[in-house]
Chain A
Amino acid sequence: MVARVPTSAELDDLTLARARRGDRDAFRELVERHEVQVFALLGRMLLGRRALVEDLAQETFLRVFTALHRFDPAGPARVGTWILTIATRLALDELKRRAPVATQLPGDLAADTRTDADAERRALGGAIARAVEALTPEQRAAFLLREHHGLEYGEIAEVLSIDLGTVKSRIARARSALRAALVEVKHGG
């Protein structure tokens, strides 16, 4: 008889079940499984404010832990989407509370090299940084959830508690701004 190897989803469910019972190792495993996605999202949402990103990531997982008993694994939302929902809402709340600060995207870094390739790279970085900064936090969130985390439009609508049309509109505006930034650099604008 061949031992059945649990699939990734089953493993997630098992971890989740153990974490729900308060198993510390299972919760650590759950964090390890999702921390990269959470940091990726928060880092981009908060435009690189490192300490804040870490604080919000920790707060995200603590909220996950507190609310874990309410999460229904048989429900429509995946654990990953649910965790990203919490992280996104925390980031949006934080951005509403705080005044905008200077960001540290690559395009803003001081130039210390003079090659054409570096200049082009810096120009590209600068154009994307300006385009990203010009996006509203809500546009940023919708765009990232779609383009980086691969969520469906319906899932994004759930995450942001908005209707499908608004999701599409926000993502379209973000895409348009970023495409324009890419075109600007390509044409030496």
Chain B
Amino acid sequence: MADDTDDTDLDASARELVMANWPGASPPAGFAARVAAVAAERRSRRRWLAPTAVACVVAAAALVVGIVVQRRQAARERAAHQLELRRISDAAAADLRGLKQEADRINREIASVQGQLLDAASAAERDRLRLQLQLQQAQLRANADRARAAAARLRDGATRTKHERDTIDLEVDRNNAMGGVQGK
């Protein structure tokens, strides 16, 4: 059993015997020169590789930065475009609401004129009321045309922004405006 606490070196003769029967190797001739040549060759390769590697890293970094900048620029442009479309859509929706109110007002006036027409006593009065009715119907048609244009702008904006918007009833009650009058 080995004594783990023994730290006495082997005596010289024992060491000599052991080492003589446990030989090491010796370097071959020219070993140092050969190793120095390999080391120098590797060093020159590293010298060439290092700047190349740095250049590759810089190029890759520049590419990445370029892509990031380009994407940010595209995102900014997209956001500005969306904002512009939303502004147009909002304006169109406001126009549409105004036109709808105008159409309601004209419809109410037409209904009133139709009522007066039924009650008119004289032919001259009926002619005047018919003329007034035709004028109001023309106003209503023009209003409806403007409403359709605004609705088209609104739809266009909604499609391009894919933005959910309040739907507005675009139907204009033209029957109410025209009905009954033509037959008179």
Contacts and interface: CB of A to CB of B under 8 A. Distances in A.
A124 B20 CA distance: 10
B6 A61 contact: no
A48 B3 contact: no
A66 B31 CA distance: 18
A53 B25 contact: yes
Contact of A124 (B4, B7, B17, B25): B17
B21 A124 contact: yes
Interface stretch (A2-10, A37-45, A73-81): A37-45
Interface string A28-44: 11011001101111111
Contacts of B9: 146-147, 175
A44 B43 CA distance: 31
B23 A31 contact: no
Interface residues of A, number: 50
A31 B31 contact: yes
Contacts of A105: 21-23
A84 interface: no
A111 to B, nearest CB: 15
A48 B14 CA distance: 21
A147 B33 CA distance: 30
Nearest to B8: A175
Contact of A106 (B23, B24, B33, B37): B23
B26 to A, nearest CB: 5
A43 B25 CA distance: 4
Interface string A4-31: 0000000000000000001011011101
B135 to A, nearest CB: 99
A65 interface: yes
